[in-house]
Amino acid sequence: MADQLVRLVDQSTLAPEVPLAIAVCDGAGHVEEVARGRWPDGKLVRPSDWFYAASLAKQVTGVAAAVLVREGRLDAALPITHYLPGLPEWADDITASHLAHHTSGLPAAGDVETAENDWTDAFVRTVLQRLPDLISTPGTAHLYSNLGYVLLAQVVAKAAGCAFPHFAATRLFEPLGLRDMEFVASDIDNFAQAALMGPSRPLTVGDGGLWATAGAFSRWLHHQNKDTLGIADLVTAPGELISGEMVGYGWGLGLRQHNGHPLFIHGGGWFGCTAKAVRCPSMGIAIVAMSAGASQQDLNALVEAALNR
């Protein structure tokens, strides 16, 4: 099976020199990994190398929030100002559930990002304080917003009584035996990929901020397939607008179908970074691919080929 994964990578449209790692975890928890390419310093990419997971982090944030909901420490139906006082008046109408489903009415991150600033929690706070109003009334439209997941991570931190990276490490990663995953919000220069990520760096947590090996993230997906944390029903439930229209997005998960089976997906990207993850609990499939330079289209095609092999 490992040889088959190598053949899929070799037959893909990804350039051989581009840093890439792909991992597939089967229903029994067995992981196959392939790494290829070279880093800017000339070193070969290894399966043990960490990649930036970009928006794949959102499903971790969704799980963190769901764990607190399950424990009765977070009420997803309360206004987020219950947990985060001091936000502008428009935040009184937003709940954690709105944030999780991207139905909060907050603008897309691309509308507020600048090439001159790192994307940090402090920068996001400034953007939010200056935001005069929402794009739409909460619960009336589905609009993907990184701002919402930065806020959701802050709600989790407040409800948990500790910093979000600490909660993720001690309540999610360590209990699941995932040592090669971590939220990093400051010094990313230790990672080889950082040299390829441009002058504006992604340093928020919640919408992104997650670094991991492909193997570790595939095992994360496997644990979600097995519902090890007991929150699957919550994070995989679609959103519902006030109109009654259903939203094909859970808590950090795109909700799809594959050959009649529920399929949970997400992609992610930043300058010099692409990532894609899919998992199917009923088929026992968990796949993640991470790259430093591949196009999202090429990476998606590789993951789809691995899914259909």
Cβ neighbours for 296, distance < 8 A, ≥ 6 positions apart: 267, 269, 274, 276
From 28, 22, 29, select the one nearest 6 (Cα to Cα): 22
The reported pTM is 0.97
Homologous superfamily, domain 2-308: DD-peptidase/beta-lactamase superfamily (3.40.710.10)
- Asked whether 213 and 110 are in contact (CB, 8 A), the reply is no
- Asked whether 96 and 155 are in contact (CB, 8 A), the reply is yes
Residue 1 has pLDDT above 70, yes or no: no
- Summarised one tens digit per residue, pLDDT across range 44-79 is 999 999 999 999 999 999 999 999 999 999 999 999
- Summarised one tens digit per residue, pLDDT across range 222-248 is 999 999 999 999 999 999 999 999 999
From 25, 24, 28, select the one nearest 9 (Cα to Cα): 24
- Summarised one tens digit per residue, pLDDT across range 212-225 is 999 999 999 999 99
Could you count the other beta carbons within 10 Å of the beta carbon of residue 246? 13
